[in-house]
Amino acid sequence: MYHISDIKKYRFCPRFFWKDNHQKQTSRMPYIRLEEKLIELAKEKLEIDSFFMGVRNDSNDISLSAFEKNEWGCNVRFEYHGLRVKIPFMQKTDEGYRIFFTYLGVLPKGDDVRFYADNLWVLQQLNLQVVDVQIIHLNAGYIREEELNVSELFVVSEHFYTPKGNPSKRVFDYVLHHVQDLSKVLSAMEETLSGSMPEAVKLPRCYRRNKCPHYDECFPHEQTHDAMSIYHLVNTNQKDELVAKGITRLDQLTGEDITGDRVQYAQIMAARSGGEFVDRLALKNWIKSLQPPFSFLDFEWDLYAIPPYHGLKPMEVLPFQFSLHMYHDQQVEHEQFLGVGDCREDFIRKLLTTIPEEGTIFAYNADGAEKLRLLELARQFPTYEEALISIADRLIDLAIPFFLGLYYNLEFKGAFTLKRVTEVLAPDLAYDDLNIQHGLQAVEQWRAADRLDAPMDPDVKDQLFAYCMRDTLSMVSIFQYLQKLVSE
Protein backbone atom coordinates (compact mmCIF):
# COMPACT_ATOMS: atom_id res chain seq x y z
CA MET A 1 0.00 0.00 0.00
CA TYR A 2 1.38 3.34 -1.02
CA HIS A 3 0.53 6.95 -0.33
CA ILE A 4 1.01 10.05 -2.46
CA SER A 5 4.11 10.93 -0.42
CA ASP A 6 5.69 7.64 -1.56
CA ILE A 7 5.32 8.62 -5.20
CA LYS A 8 6.98 11.95 -4.47
CA LYS A 9 9.89 10.18 -2.77
CA TYR A 10 10.27 7.73 -5.65
CA ARG A 11 10.29 10.48 -8.23
CA PHE A 12 12.84 12.39 -6.22
CA CYS A 13 15.12 9.35 -5.98
CA PRO A 14 14.41 5.57 -6.06
CA ARG A 15 17.19 5.04 -3.54
CA PHE A 16 15.62 7.61 -1.19
CA PHE A 17 12.28 5.80 -1.57
CA TRP A 18 13.87 2.40 -0.87
CA LYS A 19 15.76 3.63 2.21
CA ASP A 20 12.69 5.40 3.56
CA ASN A 21 10.73 2.15 3.43
CA HIS A 22 13.40 -0.33 4.50
CA GLN A 23 15.25 1.62 7.17
CA LYS A 24 13.87 3.05 10.38
CA GLN A 25 13.70 6.81 10.08
CA THR A 26 14.47 9.17 12.92
CA SER A 27 11.47 11.34 13.69
CA ARG A 28 12.12 15.02 13.14
CA MET A 29 10.56 18.02 14.74
CA PRO A 30 8.37 19.93 12.26
CA TYR A 31 10.09 23.11 11.15
CA ILE A 32 6.75 24.94 11.22
CA ARG A 33 4.84 25.09 14.48
CA LEU A 34 1.17 24.21 14.10
CA GLU A 35 -0.72 23.99 17.36
CA GLU A 36 -4.21 23.95 15.83
CA LYS A 37 -5.68 21.30 13.55
CA LEU A 38 -5.63 22.83 10.11
CA ILE A 39 -8.57 20.71 8.95
CA GLU A 40 -10.78 22.07 11.74
CA LEU A 41 -9.97 25.69 10.94
CA ALA A 42 -10.45 25.17 7.20
CA LYS A 43 -13.78 23.49 7.89
CA GLU A 44 -14.88 26.64 9.69
CA LYS A 45 -13.73 28.72 6.70
CA LEU A 46 -15.89 26.64 4.35
CA GLU A 47 -18.80 26.94 6.80
CA ILE A 48 -19.34 23.19 6.89
CA ASP A 49 -21.77 22.08 9.59
CA SER A 50 -22.79 18.58 8.53
CA PHE A 51 -20.12 16.29 7.13
CA PHE A 52 -18.57 12.84 7.05
CA MET A 53 -15.15 12.54 8.70
CA GLY A 54 -12.96 9.85 7.18
CA VAL A 55 -10.61 7.77 9.26
CA ARG A 56 -7.52 5.71 8.50
CA ASN A 57 -8.09 2.52 6.48
CA ASP A 58 -11.55 3.54 5.26
CA SER A 59 -12.45 1.53 2.16
CA ASN A 60 -13.76 3.01 -1.07
CA ASP A 61 -17.21 1.65 -0.25
CA ILE A 62 -17.27 3.38 3.14
CA SER A 63 -16.22 6.71 1.62
CA LEU A 64 -18.67 6.52 -1.28
CA SER A 65 -21.60 5.39 0.83
CA ALA A 66 -21.00 8.33 3.19
CA PHE A 67 -21.95 10.72 0.37
CA GLU A 68 -25.38 9.10 0.13
CA LYS A 69 -26.23 10.92 3.37
CA ASN A 70 -23.74 13.80 3.39
CA GLU A 71 -22.98 16.67 1.06
CA TRP A 72 -19.50 17.16 2.54
CA GLY A 73 -16.69 14.81 3.44
CA CYS A 74 -13.48 15.64 5.34
CA ASN A 75 -10.27 13.61 5.08
CA VAL A 76 -11.97 11.23 2.70
CA ARG A 77 -9.92 8.12 1.83
CA PHE A 78 -9.79 6.34 -1.53
CA GLU A 79 -7.56 3.62 -2.96
CA TYR A 80 -6.75 2.36 -6.43
CA HIS A 81 -4.16 -0.30 -7.32
CA GLY A 82 -2.55 0.01 -3.90
CA LEU A 83 -2.28 3.82 -3.96
CA ARG A 84 -4.19 5.52 -1.17
CA VAL A 85 -5.13 9.20 -1.13
CA LYS A 86 -6.71 11.44 1.49
CA ILE A 87 -8.82 14.31 0.17
CA PRO A 88 -9.12 17.10 2.76
CA PHE A 89 -12.56 18.27 1.58
CA MET A 90 -15.04 16.90 -0.96
CA GLN A 91 -18.41 18.39 -1.78
CA LYS A 92 -20.97 16.37 -3.71
CA THR A 93 -23.01 18.43 -6.19
CA ASP A 94 -25.50 17.55 -8.92
CA GLU A 95 -22.72 17.88 -11.53
CA GLY A 96 -20.06 15.94 -9.61
CA TYR A 97 -17.52 16.46 -6.84
CA ARG A 98 -15.75 19.66 -5.88
CA ILE A 99 -12.32 19.06 -4.32
CA PHE A 100 -10.60 21.36 -1.82
CA PHE A 101 -6.96 20.81 -0.89
CA THR A 102 -5.30 22.52 2.08
CA TYR A 103 -1.92 24.20 1.69
CA LEU A 104 0.22 25.08 4.72
CA GLY A 105 1.57 28.29 3.27
CA VAL A 106 0.52 31.60 1.78
CA LEU A 107 1.19 31.17 -1.95
CA PRO A 108 0.42 27.77 -3.53
CA LYS A 109 2.43 27.54 -6.74
CA GLY A 110 2.14 25.42 -9.84
CA ASP A 111 5.37 23.64 -8.85
CA ASP A 112 3.24 21.35 -6.67
CA VAL A 113 0.85 20.42 -9.48
CA ARG A 114 1.97 16.77 -9.57
CA PHE A 115 0.74 16.22 -6.02
CA TYR A 116 -2.75 17.43 -6.88
CA ALA A 117 -2.76 15.63 -10.24
CA ASP A 118 -1.81 12.29 -8.64
CA ASN A 119 -4.72 12.59 -6.22
CA LEU A 120 -7.04 13.36 -9.09
CA TRP A 121 -5.83 10.32 -11.07
CA VAL A 122 -7.00 7.98 -8.31
CA LEU A 123 -10.44 9.60 -8.26
CA GLN A 124 -10.69 9.36 -12.03
CA GLN A 125 -9.87 5.64 -11.96
CA LEU A 126 -12.78 5.17 -9.57
CA ASN A 127 -15.06 6.97 -12.03
CA LEU A 128 -15.64 9.90 -9.70
CA GLN A 129 -16.58 12.99 -11.67
CA VAL A 130 -14.50 15.91 -10.39
CA VAL A 131 -15.87 19.25 -11.59
CA ASP A 132 -13.60 21.66 -9.71
CA VAL A 133 -10.40 21.81 -7.68
CA GLN A 134 -9.56 24.68 -5.32
CA ILE A 135 -6.90 25.28 -2.68
CA ILE A 136 -7.44 26.59 0.84
CA HIS A 137 -4.32 28.48 1.90
CA LEU A 138 -3.21 31.02 4.48
CA ASN A 139 -3.81 34.69 3.73
CA ALA A 140 -0.50 36.55 3.42
CA GLY A 141 -2.19 39.86 4.23
CA TYR A 142 -3.94 38.75 7.40
CA ILE A 143 -2.77 40.29 10.69
CA ARG A 144 -4.21 38.83 13.85
CA GLU A 145 -6.18 40.98 16.26
CA GLU A 146 -6.92 39.83 19.81
CA GLU A 147 -9.08 36.95 18.50
CA LEU A 148 -8.31 34.71 15.55
CA ASN A 149 -10.57 35.49 12.59
CA VAL A 150 -10.73 32.24 10.62
CA SER A 151 -12.70 33.82 7.80
CA GLU A 152 -9.86 36.28 7.12
CA LEU A 153 -7.09 33.81 8.01
CA PHE A 154 -7.72 31.66 4.92
CA VAL A 155 -8.18 32.21 1.21
CA VAL A 156 -10.02 29.72 -0.99
CA SER A 157 -8.28 30.08 -4.33
CA GLU A 158 -9.09 28.91 -7.83
CA HIS A 159 -5.61 29.92 -9.00
CA PHE A 160 -1.98 29.17 -8.34
CA TYR A 161 0.29 32.17 -7.75
CA THR A 162 3.48 33.63 -9.17
CA PRO A 163 6.45 34.20 -6.81
CA LYS A 164 5.33 37.85 -6.61
CA GLY A 165 1.90 36.81 -5.35
CA ASN A 166 -0.13 37.39 -8.50
CA PRO A 167 -2.76 34.83 -9.61
CA SER A 168 -1.48 32.66 -12.44
CA LYS A 169 -2.82 29.36 -13.79
CA ARG A 170 -6.31 28.16 -12.88
CA VAL A 171 -5.89 25.25 -10.47
CA PHE A 172 -8.47 22.88 -11.98
CA ASP A 173 -7.33 23.34 -15.58
CA TYR A 174 -3.64 23.07 -14.73
CA VAL A 175 -4.14 19.97 -12.56
CA LEU A 176 -6.23 18.25 -15.24
CA HIS A 177 -3.52 18.96 -17.79
CA HIS A 178 -0.91 17.23 -15.60
CA VAL A 179 -2.83 14.06 -14.71
CA GLN A 180 -0.76 11.05 -15.78
CA ASP A 181 -1.32 7.31 -15.69
CA LEU A 182 0.53 6.14 -12.56
CA SER A 183 0.34 2.41 -13.32
CA LYS A 184 3.92 2.17 -14.58
CA VAL A 185 5.22 4.28 -11.71
CA LEU A 186 3.48 2.07 -9.15
CA SER A 187 4.88 -1.06 -10.79
CA ALA A 188 8.36 0.43 -10.76
CA MET A 189 7.99 1.32 -7.09
CA GLU A 190 6.96 -2.24 -6.28
CA GLU A 191 9.92 -3.61 -8.21
CA THR A 192 12.28 -1.22 -6.44
CA LEU A 193 11.09 -2.22 -2.98
CA SER A 194 11.34 -5.92 -3.72
CA GLY A 195 14.96 -5.64 -4.85
CA SER A 196 18.19 -4.53 -3.26
CA MET A 197 18.95 -0.91 -2.53
CA PRO A 198 19.45 1.06 -5.79
CA GLU A 199 22.85 2.46 -6.58
CA ALA A 200 23.52 6.07 -5.61
CA VAL A 201 23.30 8.44 -8.57
CA LYS A 202 24.33 12.03 -7.88
CA LEU A 203 22.06 14.63 -9.43
CA PRO A 204 21.70 18.38 -8.76
CA ARG A 205 18.55 17.70 -6.74
CA CYS A 206 20.70 15.77 -4.24
CA TYR A 207 22.33 18.94 -2.94
CA ARG A 208 20.35 21.85 -4.38
CA ARG A 209 18.56 24.00 -1.77
CA ASN A 210 18.46 21.61 1.20
CA LYS A 211 20.91 18.73 0.95
CA CYS A 212 19.24 15.30 0.97
CA PRO A 213 19.43 13.74 4.47
CA HIS A 214 20.93 10.59 2.89
CA TYR A 215 23.59 12.46 0.89
CA ASP A 216 26.55 11.75 3.17
CA GLU A 217 25.64 8.07 3.33
CA CYS A 218 25.18 7.82 -0.45
CA PHE A 219 28.49 9.51 -1.23
CA PRO A 220 30.74 8.69 1.76
CA HIS A 221 33.91 9.20 -0.28
CA GLU A 222 33.20 12.92 -0.38
CA GLN A 223 33.25 13.08 3.41
CA THR A 224 36.78 11.69 3.53
CA HIS A 225 38.25 14.09 1.00
CA ASP A 226 41.02 16.24 2.35
CA ALA A 227 40.78 20.02 2.32
CA MET A 228 42.48 20.21 -1.09
CA SER A 229 39.80 18.13 -2.83
CA ILE A 230 38.04 19.49 -5.89
CA TYR A 231 34.76 18.45 -4.26
CA HIS A 232 35.05 21.51 -2.02
CA LEU A 233 34.98 23.93 -4.97
CA VAL A 234 32.01 26.27 -4.43
CA ASN A 235 29.38 27.60 -6.82
CA THR A 236 29.70 24.88 -9.47
CA ASN A 237 27.91 21.74 -10.60
CA GLN A 238 30.90 20.59 -12.65
CA LYS A 239 32.92 18.80 -9.96
CA ASP A 240 32.42 15.30 -11.37
CA GLU A 241 33.27 16.55 -14.87
CA LEU A 242 36.52 18.05 -13.54
CA VAL A 243 37.39 14.75 -11.85
CA ALA A 244 36.72 12.93 -15.14
CA LYS A 245 39.32 15.25 -16.73
CA GLY A 246 41.85 14.26 -14.07
CA ILE A 247 41.49 17.42 -11.96
CA THR A 248 41.04 16.23 -8.38
CA ARG A 249 42.77 18.99 -6.39
CA LEU A 250 42.11 22.71 -6.09
CA ASP A 251 45.70 23.58 -6.92
CA GLN A 252 45.30 21.89 -10.33
CA LEU A 253 42.64 24.36 -11.44
CA THR A 254 43.34 27.06 -13.99
CA GLY A 255 41.35 30.08 -15.11
CA GLU A 256 39.69 27.98 -17.80
CA ASP A 257 38.24 25.62 -15.20
CA ILE A 258 36.42 28.21 -13.08
CA THR A 259 33.68 30.76 -13.64
CA GLY A 260 35.59 33.79 -12.42
CA ASP A 261 33.90 33.58 -9.04
CA ARG A 262 35.87 35.47 -6.35
CA VAL A 263 35.51 32.65 -3.83
CA GLN A 264 36.74 30.07 -6.36
CA TYR A 265 39.77 32.29 -6.94
CA ALA A 266 40.34 32.51 -3.17
CA GLN A 267 40.14 28.71 -2.92
CA ILE A 268 42.74 28.23 -5.66
CA MET A 269 45.07 30.80 -4.11
CA ALA A 270 44.72 29.18 -0.69
CA ALA A 271 45.55 25.81 -2.23
CA ARG A 272 48.68 27.30 -3.82
CA SER A 273 49.70 29.33 -0.75
CA GLY A 274 49.88 26.82 2.05
CA GLY A 275 46.23 26.66 3.01
CA GLU A 276 45.17 30.28 3.57
CA PHE A 277 44.35 33.20 1.30
CA VAL A 278 43.88 36.79 2.46
CA ASP A 279 43.00 39.75 0.25
CA ARG A 280 44.57 42.06 2.83
CA LEU A 281 43.85 45.35 1.12
CA ALA A 282 40.17 44.57 0.55
CA LEU A 283 39.77 43.08 4.03
CA LYS A 284 41.52 46.07 5.62
CA ASN A 285 39.29 48.52 3.76
CA TRP A 286 36.20 46.59 4.84
CA ILE A 287 37.25 46.67 8.49
CA LYS A 288 38.16 50.38 8.28
CA SER A 289 34.63 51.11 7.01
CA LEU A 290 33.16 49.76 10.25
CA GLN A 291 32.28 52.05 13.12
CA PRO A 292 33.27 51.05 16.69
CA PRO A 293 32.16 50.05 19.26
CA PHE A 294 31.39 46.61 17.87
CA SER A 295 28.36 44.58 18.93
CA PHE A 296 27.60 40.98 18.02
CA LEU A 297 23.96 39.91 17.97
CA ASP A 298 22.17 36.59 17.54
CA PHE A 299 18.45 35.77 17.74
CA GLU A 300 16.58 32.49 18.19
CA TRP A 301 12.96 32.25 17.05
CA ASP A 302 10.06 29.91 16.30
CA LEU A 303 7.95 29.85 13.13
CA TYR A 304 4.15 29.69 13.51
CA ALA A 305 1.77 28.67 10.72
CA ILE A 306 -1.28 30.13 12.50
CA PRO A 307 -0.53 33.43 14.29
CA PRO A 308 -1.05 32.83 18.02
CA TYR A 309 -0.72 36.44 19.20
CA HIS A 310 -1.84 39.95 18.29
CA GLY A 311 0.02 41.56 15.39
CA LEU A 312 1.45 38.35 13.92
CA LYS A 313 0.83 37.18 10.36
CA PRO A 314 0.53 33.59 9.11
CA MET A 315 3.92 31.91 8.69
CA GLU A 316 5.61 34.57 10.79
CA VAL A 317 8.19 34.07 13.49
CA LEU A 318 8.34 34.94 17.17
CA PRO A 319 11.82 35.77 18.54
CA PHE A 320 12.23 34.32 22.02
CA GLN A 321 15.95 34.77 22.75
CA PHE A 322 18.94 36.91 21.98
CA SER A 323 22.59 37.06 22.90
CA LEU A 324 24.60 40.28 22.66
CA HIS A 325 28.36 40.59 23.02
CA MET A 326 29.87 44.08 23.03
CA TYR A 327 33.56 44.54 22.16
CA HIS A 328 35.38 47.84 22.66
CA ASP A 329 38.92 48.76 23.68
CA GLN A 330 39.76 45.04 24.02
CA GLN A 331 36.98 44.65 26.59
CA VAL A 332 34.09 42.22 26.08
CA GLU A 333 30.70 42.48 27.82
CA HIS A 334 27.66 40.25 27.46
CA GLU A 335 23.86 40.63 27.76
CA GLN A 336 21.12 38.11 27.00
CA PHE A 337 17.38 37.49 27.03
CA LEU A 338 15.14 34.42 27.07
CA GLY A 339 11.35 34.42 27.36
CA VAL A 340 8.34 32.16 26.86
CA GLY A 341 4.85 32.81 25.51
CA ASP A 342 4.32 36.17 23.86
CA CYS A 343 7.62 37.64 25.05
CA ARG A 344 8.12 39.98 22.08
CA GLU A 345 7.74 43.29 23.93
CA ASP A 346 10.01 42.15 26.77
CA PHE A 347 12.49 41.05 24.10
CA ILE A 348 12.38 44.50 22.49
CA ARG A 349 12.74 46.41 25.76
CA LYS A 350 15.70 44.34 26.89
CA LEU A 351 17.41 44.74 23.52
CA LEU A 352 16.89 48.52 23.40
CA THR A 353 18.21 49.03 26.93
CA THR A 354 21.36 46.95 26.43
CA ILE A 355 22.57 47.50 22.87
CA PRO A 356 24.97 50.44 22.35
CA GLU A 357 23.39 53.51 20.77
CA GLU A 358 26.10 53.74 18.13
CA GLY A 359 28.65 51.58 16.38
CA THR A 360 28.53 48.54 14.11
CA ILE A 361 26.26 45.62 14.99
CA PHE A 362 27.32 42.27 13.54
CA ALA A 363 25.12 39.27 12.90
CA TYR A 364 25.83 36.19 10.81
CA ASN A 365 23.72 36.08 7.63
CA ALA A 366 22.16 39.24 8.99
CA ASP A 367 19.97 40.25 6.04
CA GLY A 368 18.06 36.98 5.97
CA ALA A 369 17.74 36.62 9.73
CA GLU A 370 18.20 39.28 12.42
CA LYS A 371 17.41 42.21 10.12
CA LEU A 372 14.12 40.62 9.03
CA ARG A 373 13.17 39.91 12.65
CA LEU A 374 13.80 43.52 13.64
CA LEU A 375 11.69 44.88 10.79
CA GLU A 376 8.86 42.46 11.66
CA LEU A 377 8.94 43.58 15.28
CA ALA A 378 8.94 47.22 14.16
CA ARG A 379 5.71 46.62 12.24
CA GLN A 380 4.12 44.72 15.12
CA PHE A 381 5.04 47.33 17.75
CA PRO A 382 4.89 50.85 16.24
CA THR A 383 5.95 52.41 19.56
CA TYR A 384 9.44 50.97 19.05
CA GLU A 385 9.51 51.21 15.26
CA GLU A 386 12.09 53.99 14.93
CA ALA A 387 14.50 52.45 17.42
CA LEU A 388 14.25 48.95 15.91
CA ILE A 389 14.74 50.20 12.35
CA SER A 390 17.79 52.14 13.55
CA ILE A 391 19.29 48.90 14.86
CA ALA A 392 18.44 47.09 11.62
CA ASP A 393 20.17 49.82 9.60
CA ARG A 394 23.37 49.34 11.60
CA LEU A 395 23.53 45.57 11.06
CA ILE A 396 26.51 44.21 9.12
CA ASP A 397 26.85 40.59 8.00
CA LEU A 398 29.99 39.06 9.49
CA ALA A 399 29.90 36.44 6.73
CA ILE A 400 30.77 39.08 4.10
CA PRO A 401 34.56 38.48 4.11
CA PHE A 402 34.00 34.77 3.43
CA PHE A 403 31.21 35.03 0.86
CA LEU A 404 33.17 37.71 -1.05
CA GLY A 405 36.40 35.72 -1.07
CA LEU A 406 38.34 38.22 1.04
CA TYR A 407 39.50 35.34 3.20
CA TYR A 408 39.59 31.59 2.62
CA ASN A 409 41.02 28.74 4.64
CA LEU A 410 41.23 25.29 3.06
CA GLU A 411 39.81 23.79 6.25
CA PHE A 412 36.50 25.53 5.50
CA LYS A 413 36.07 22.80 2.87
CA GLY A 414 33.76 25.03 0.86
CA ALA A 415 31.37 25.85 3.72
CA PHE A 416 30.98 29.24 5.43
CA THR A 417 28.48 28.51 8.19
CA LEU A 418 29.18 30.13 11.52
CA LYS A 419 29.95 26.74 13.03
CA ARG A 420 32.41 25.75 10.31
CA VAL A 421 34.22 29.09 10.43
CA THR A 422 34.35 28.85 14.23
CA GLU A 423 35.80 25.33 14.11
CA VAL A 424 38.61 26.59 11.88
CA LEU A 425 39.37 30.07 13.23
CA ALA A 426 38.34 29.67 16.88
CA PRO A 427 38.51 25.90 17.62
CA ASP A 428 38.31 26.44 21.39
CA LEU A 429 34.74 27.67 20.82
CA ALA A 430 33.54 24.73 18.72
CA TYR A 431 30.08 23.54 19.75
CA ASP A 432 30.95 19.94 20.64
CA ASP A 433 30.79 20.54 24.38
CA LEU A 434 27.21 21.90 24.28
CA ASN A 435 24.01 19.91 24.83
CA ILE A 436 22.33 22.10 22.20
CA GLN A 437 24.49 22.29 19.09
CA HIS A 438 22.25 23.79 16.40
CA GLY A 439 19.24 26.06 16.01
CA LEU A 440 16.55 23.41 15.54
CA GLN A 441 17.59 21.74 18.80
CA ALA A 442 17.22 25.10 20.52
CA VAL A 443 13.73 25.56 19.04
CA GLU A 444 12.74 22.04 20.06
CA GLN A 445 13.77 22.65 23.67
CA TRP A 446 12.04 26.02 23.73
CA ARG A 447 8.80 24.65 22.25
CA ALA A 448 8.63 21.97 24.91
CA ALA A 449 9.14 24.57 27.65
CA ASP A 450 6.75 27.06 26.06
CA ARG A 451 3.92 24.51 26.02
CA LEU A 452 4.19 23.91 29.76
CA ASP A 453 2.21 26.05 32.18
CA ALA A 454 5.20 26.20 34.52
CA PRO A 455 8.55 27.97 34.89
CA MET A 456 11.24 26.83 32.48
CA ASP A 457 13.45 24.03 33.75
CA PRO A 458 16.73 25.63 34.95
CA ASP A 459 18.83 23.08 33.03
CA VAL A 460 16.99 23.80 29.79
CA LYS A 461 17.36 27.52 30.40
CA ASP A 462 21.11 27.17 30.95
CA GLN A 463 21.48 25.07 27.80
CA LEU A 464 19.62 27.63 25.69
CA PHE A 465 21.69 30.47 27.13
CA ALA A 466 24.92 28.55 26.49
CA TYR A 467 24.07 27.85 22.84
CA CYS A 468 22.99 31.36 21.90
CA MET A 469 25.90 32.92 23.79
CA ARG A 470 28.33 30.65 21.93
CA ASP A 471 27.14 32.09 18.61
CA THR A 472 27.94 35.68 19.55
CA LEU A 473 31.16 34.83 21.38
CA SER A 474 32.29 32.95 18.26
CA MET A 475 31.60 36.05 16.18
CA VAL A 476 33.75 38.15 18.51
CA SER A 477 36.63 35.71 18.14
CA ILE A 478 36.25 35.53 14.34
CA PHE A 479 36.28 39.32 14.06
CA GLN A 480 39.39 39.53 16.25
CA TYR A 481 41.06 36.98 13.99
CA LEU A 482 40.28 39.09 10.91
CA GLN A 483 41.56 42.23 12.64
CA LYS A 484 44.81 40.48 13.45
CA LEU A 485 45.26 39.39 9.81
CA VAL A 486 45.22 42.94 8.51
CA SER A 487 47.39 44.28 11.30
CA GLU A 488 50.21 41.84 10.55
pLDDT tens figures, 309-354: 999 999 999 999 999 999 988 899 999 999 999 999 999 999 999 9
The set of long-range contacts for 84-87, using a CB threshold of 8 Å and a minimum separation of 24, is 84/1, 84/2, 84/3, 85/3, 85/4, 85/118, 85/119, 85/122, 85/123, 86/3, 86/54, 87/119, 87/123
Residue 224: the pLDDT is 67
Q: What is the pLDDT of residue 257?
A: 77
Instruction: Report the predicted TM-score, pTM, of the whole model to 2 decimal places.
Output: 0.90
| Nearest-angstrom CA–CA distance, 372 and 471 | 18
Residue 87: pLDDT band by 50, 70, 90 thresholds? very high
pLDDT confidence tier of residue 176, bands split at 50, 70 and 90: very high
- Model confidence at 202: pLDDT above 70: yes
Q: What is the pLDDT of residue 24?
A: 76
| Alpha-carbon 299 to chain mean position | 16
Confidence grade of residue 389 (pLDDT, cut at 50, 70, 90): very high
* Cα radius of gyration (the chain): 27
pLDDT of amino acid 209: 62
Of residues 140, 185, 131, the one with CA closest to residue 165: 140
Position 55: which residue type?
Answer: V
How does pLDDT run across 426-470, given as a tens digit for each residue? 999 999 999 999 999 999 999 999 998 888 999 999 999 999 999
pLDDT per residue over 391-436, tens digit each?
Answer: 999 999 999 999 999 999 999 999 999 999 999 999 999 999 999 9
Among 299, 332, 347, CA closest to 473: 332
pLDDT of residue 235: 85
- Determine phi and psi for 205, rounding to 5 degrees: -65, -20
Spell out the residues 6+ positions from residue 93 whose beta carbon is closer than 8 angstroms to its own. Answer: 131
Q: Say if residues 107 and 165 touch (Cβ distance below 8 Å).
A: yes
pLDDT of residue 238: 80
Is pLDDT of 28 > 90? no
* H helix or E strand, kind and range, residue 338: strand 331-338
Q: In the prediction, which pLDDT does 236 show?
A: 82
